[in-house]
Chain A
């Protein structure tokens, strides 16, 4: 035992190489799991190694899923049809930067109105054919045009022209957009082989990614095999995704060793799961946020003092602790997550303050206030509970909230954007312009607060084409402040992605742009 302690001390003092440590630990009869645990605590980087079949269980996926990236609804299709089997032109790294993927490099023109992406050389599809600029053009055109029903249609609306120029792809935008490379990292935009007629072949699943799809069974799962020609290292030989909708079944599958990773842990039982020595729990605060939105064009929410009264009437900490069991970060009525470029935390911090609420109501000329709040767990899981807690805390401050539980089925259809005060959810976007253009620009289709602030919209256009980083930071700071002070959004929490994995697998820092390690778990993890 003395030798083992000595060895550990050597590891913590970084006086020994990783390999030597493992060899000597094994010689001392210490289990591999324990030894690697010590190494990771001591801050050693894990050395990936090749081999093995990695199986994950995902809580999403329906029989109506397809490999058409235009209608990827969630994690299942994102992981199988993009993260594991395909590539976009760019991708996000763990620090929130955009880095080249299928594009080797990308350059804007001076006003950020034209973007040139240079295609990585020698990348092939799974069937061996070399990727050309025409494939990229066809893959993008799949989402554009009047008949498109793509989820990426709105983010490509600013693209006026896209053309192939040798190994380059040239995007001409309607206006300057310094963030365009971020858009190109979206999981709806994998590069697929073009057909003769300029359409794209998404049906075959033949793509460029680290794994090739062997079988895809919508609503059941998918099996994939390593692509030996991938341009980067890939560790697993095989990768399998199982759709396990029931969270208890998913947890059992993980504890009984049938899967190595599960997403969306049951927060109610997570403390029991933590006791299991063979498992590791991961928590990543992403860009996604749970919100209540007010229609700023309708009484009484057209009065900024009423809006601010409601922002001070919600006890976010209580909701975070009671509904989300602490897994998240309280919001401050800024939809921009702290990890995003140019994010600020606007002052004053909106926290529960009944006196401030009464003061604001008096300023608005009201003695008391009664409002209807529409909620449903379709908006986000826990919305009904969050609404109920909001009602309680607001009642103490003189605001009477009627919590109306709406049907899950038609929530996005008949309640969201229709009723004046509703629960909602945003997945978040990796850059501010994208988030603002989607949900806070005056003319945005999904402007769910119906907020039309002239200064904000002026800044939005100006910041988009501004390439000076300091100026952009100042503009985005002002916009976030405006939204915080005047907007119709009550940001309750930034939610966390909580996943669990067997210690048989290892990984580096997790990506925060999407759940399941940015949906790229297949190529970023390895067997320990």
Chain B
């Protein structure tokens, strides 16, 4: 996605909101929410259809994949029958959609007679882990990025600005796995400050969990800070040229007060959009970091499932990922609207 994607999206809402405001019956926030949720459901449906067809098109299937070299026609047939793969694709899809609408994601193909593995049971602990890592990273990265962005805008073109810019750009330019290995080499292998494995399970106490997640969270922080920081800086600097800021400055208000009280409130929309984009990335795009640190997150689960063509699990993961994007963008738009009086109170 384009680095500046937040900006055009913010503008689009502005226009939409204003246009509706003129016809004006419904509150713009409510309208956005309903509209987005409707579109979201449609998106989810399309996503499920696309994913299902793509996996169908791949060569091989779950039974053959699991049995590997041991797949003889009889064993494959027995296996396919057991997991229902012997039915035609469209029937399997319709059945699956029907169940999902009722909240049942079905059972993984890895289930056996007397050993049911519900997709929801597989996904729940993994999703919790992923959300934990994402929240931990967000708690560090978002305040850090915004703080650095504001400071960089405040002291723009100073050595501080240059250093912050070049350091964050360096960290974002490095591939995640490389960053992960570098951190692991120095902080885990050489200095032995943090564990190199982030293997946690349901019984891991909170502090232990935070300690084990330190390196993955740090890696992800370094990867996402630049984007948010630069957007904050750019959005603020953009506004500093506007007449009302000049007015404020002419009144003799201090530089930091101008930025915090006058520029920042109007800069929230693009910043929040970039934050939302990065948070979504933390949920859906961290599979490499998960693999390097052996963190049992949902990305790993989905890759596993794609490799073995465990369709129910792939489908459920894809839906969760799509829903994450939709919801986070929705929240970003709500914040954009509520921080912009022109959108909040349309005439």
Partners in one complex: yes
Q: For B59, give its contact among A147, A249, A413 (CB under 8 Å).
A: A413
Binds A, one of B39-47, B104-112, B217-225, B259-267: B104-112
B309's nearest neighbour on chain A, judged by CB, is A409
The complex places the Cα of A259 from the Cα of B112 at a distance, in Å, of: 32
Q: Are A66 and B196 in contact (CB under 8 A)?
A: no
The complex places the Cα of A102 from the Cα of B291 at a distance, in Å, of: 39
B64's nearest neighbour on chain A, judged by CB, is A413
Question: What chain B residues lie within 8 Å of A215 (beta carbons)?
Answer: 201
The complex places the Cα of A313 from the Cα of B192 at a distance, in Å, of: 51
State the Cβ distance, A380 to closest chain B Cβ, in Å.
11
Q: Are A258 and B195 in contact (CB under 8 A)?
A: yes
Q: Are A249 and B294 in contact (CB under 8 A)?
A: yes
State the Cβ distance, A438 to closest chain B Cβ, in Å.
10
B313's nearest neighbour on chain A, judged by CB, is A63
Please tell me if A244 contacts chain B, counting CB pairs below 8 Å. Answer: yes
Q: Are B188 and A256 in contact (CB under 8 A)?
A: yes
Q: Are B72 and A445 in contact (CB under 8 A)?
A: yes
Contact of A148 with B75 at beta-carbon distance under 8 Å, contacts A63-B301, A73-B66, A249-B291 already known: yes
Q: For B294, give its contact among A68, A151, A153, A246 (CB under 8 Å).
A: A246
> Binary interface profile of B, 69-83, with partner A (CB < 8 Å = 1, else 0)?
111101110110010
Question: What chain B residues lie within 8 Å of A65 (beta carbons)?
Answer: 110
The complex places the Cα of A425 from the Cα of B197 at a distance, in Å, of: 32
Question: What chain A residues lie within 8 Å of B305 (beta carbons)?
Answer: 63-64
Please tell me if A277 contacts chain B, counting CB pairs below 8 Å. Answer: no
Binds B, one of A218-226, A332-340, A385-393: A218-226
The complex places the Cα of A254 from the Cα of B308 at a distance, in Å, of: 28
Please tell me if A16 contacts chain B, counting CB pairs below 8 Å. Answer: no
For window 425-453 of A, CB contacts with B under 8 Å fall at 425, 445-446
Q: For A64, give its contact among B201, B292, B293, B308 (CB under 8 Å).
A: B308
The complex places the Cα of A246 from the Cα of B197 at a distance, in Å, of: 11
Q: Are B115 and A149 in contact (CB under 8 A)?
A: no
Please tell me if B246 contacts chain A, counting CB pairs below 8 Å. Answer: no
Q: Most chain-A Cβ atoms within 10 A of its Cβ — which of B63, B75, B76, B308?
A: B75
The complex places the Cα of A243 from the Cα of B201 at a distance, in Å, of: 13
The complex places the Cα of A68 from the Cα of B122 at a distance, in Å, of: 18
Q: For B115, give its contact among A147, A203, A409 (CB under 8 Å).
A: A203
Q: Most chain-B Cβ atoms within 10 A of its Cβ — which of A203, A253, A445?
A: A253
Q: Are A412 and B188 in contact (CB under 8 A)?
A: no
B187's nearest neighbour on chain A, judged by CB, is A256
B79's nearest neighbour on chain A, judged by CB, is A149
Please tell me if B103 contacts chain A, counting CB pairs below 8 Å. Answer: no
Q: Are A255 and B294 in contact (CB under 8 A)?
A: no
The complex places the Cα of A258 from the Cα of B215 at a distance, in Å, of: 15
Please tell me if A407 contacts chain B, counting CB pairs below 8 Å. Answer: yes
Question: What chain B residues lie within 8 Å of A149 (beta carbons)?
Answer: 63, 67, 75-76, 78-79, 82
The complex places the Cα of A248 from the Cα of B183 at a distance, in Å, of: 13
The complex places the Cα of A412 from the Cα of B199 at a distance, in Å, of: 33
Q: Are A64 and B67 in contact (CB under 8 A)?
A: no
Please tell me if B276 contacts chain A, counting CB pairs below 8 Å. Answer: no
Q: Are B78 and A147 in contact (CB under 8 A)?
A: yes
Q: Are B189 and A446 in contact (CB under 8 A)?
A: no
Contact of A242 with B197 at beta-carbon distance under 8 Å, contacts A68-B112, A249-B294, A413-B71 already known: yes
> Binary interface profile of B, 199-217, with partner A (CB < 8 Å = 1, else 0)?
1010000000000000000
Q: Are B308 and A66 in contact (CB under 8 A)?
A: no
Q: Are A256 and B294 in contact (CB under 8 A)?
A: no
Question: What chain A residues lie within 8 Å of B63 (beta carbons)?
Answer: 149
Question: What chain A residues lie within 8 Å of B66 (beta carbons)?
Answer: 64, 71, 73
Please tell me if A410 contacts chain B, counting CB pairs below 8 Å. Answer: yes
For window 221-262 of A, CB contacts with B under 8 Å fall at 221, 242-246, 248-249, 252-253, 255-259
Seed contacts A66-B115, A410-B64; 4 additional CB < 8 Å A-B pairs = A64-B310, A71-B67, A215-B201, A409-B58
The 6 closest A-B pairs by CB, nearest first: A410-B59, A64-B110, A149-B75, A410-B60, A252-B196, A151-B70
Q: Can you show 15 pairs from A to B with CB atoms below 8 A apart?
A: A62-B307, A64-B110, A64-B308, A149-B76, A219-B304, A244-B294, A246-B292, A246-B294, A252-B185, A253-B196, A253-B197, A255-B189, A256-B196, A258-B196, A413-B64
